[in-house]
Amino acid sequence: MQFTASIALLLLAAAGSASAAFVPASTDTCTVLQRASLINLDKLGCAKVSADVLSKTKPIAKSETCKALQDGGLINLDALGCAKV
């Protein structure tokens, strides 16, 4: 699951960095980012995910998520709560 989440984040990062247009993130992507305890996700177009969804899934390591986003070429990750990895 963590490997799949990392791949999904890398694909999101690649797509996001290739286009300057704002496209809201998918619900699945938002769920992964929220489970990793990242902040300011509204800036990515993430609406709040139901607590029911989050309670049925296992947590994702914040450090792994931040590393995947950084490897995907995203910048300003401090705004999401990621320190340099």
pLDDT tens by residue, 17-44: 544 455 666 777 888 888 888 888 888 7
Q: What is the DSSP string of 1-29?
A: -HHHHHHHHHHHHHHHHH--S--PPPHHH
Whole-model pTM: value is: 0.46
CA distance 16 to 10: 10
Say what the pLDDT of residue 40 is.
86
